[in-house]
Amino acid sequence: MTPEERIEKARLDINAIDAELICLLNKRMDSVLLIGEAKRELGQEVYVPAREQAVKDRLKKDERYEGLVDAIWPEIMAFARSLQK
């Protein structure tokens, strides 16, 4: 396989992975909406800093991607909070 063919194959793989990521994020947000509804019924706050930190800590177990988690997870969590309001 030529270098150009390897690049093209890798890009096709990335495109498929990106589509899977969007599907997974959509599923995550569906759960976020259910949690938000339950929190409203219980009169609970949307923002729970300890929960968000626990999620980030769990995701940072692979130290190679700790910076990635720090970069993108706050955005995902902020979007999730906005859906729960």
Q: In the chain, what are the domain boundaries?
A: 3-84
What pLDDT score was predicted for residue 62? Answer: 84
Q: How far apart are CA 19 and CA 25, in angstroms?
A: 10
What pLDDT score was predicted for residue 53? Answer: 94
CATH number of 3-84: 1.20.59.10
CA-nearest of 57, 58, 39 to 48 is 39
Q: What is this structure's pTM?
A: 0.86
Separation in Å, CA 37 to CA 32, 53, 57, 83? 9, 22, 25, 10
Task: Kindly give the parts of the chain with pLDDT less than 50.
Answer: none
Q: How far apart are CA 46 and CA 9, in angstroms?
A: 42
What pLDDT score was predicted for residue 63? Answer: 85
- CB-CB contact of 84 with 32 (8 Å): yes
pLDDT digits (tens, 9 = 90+) for 11-22: 999 999 999 999
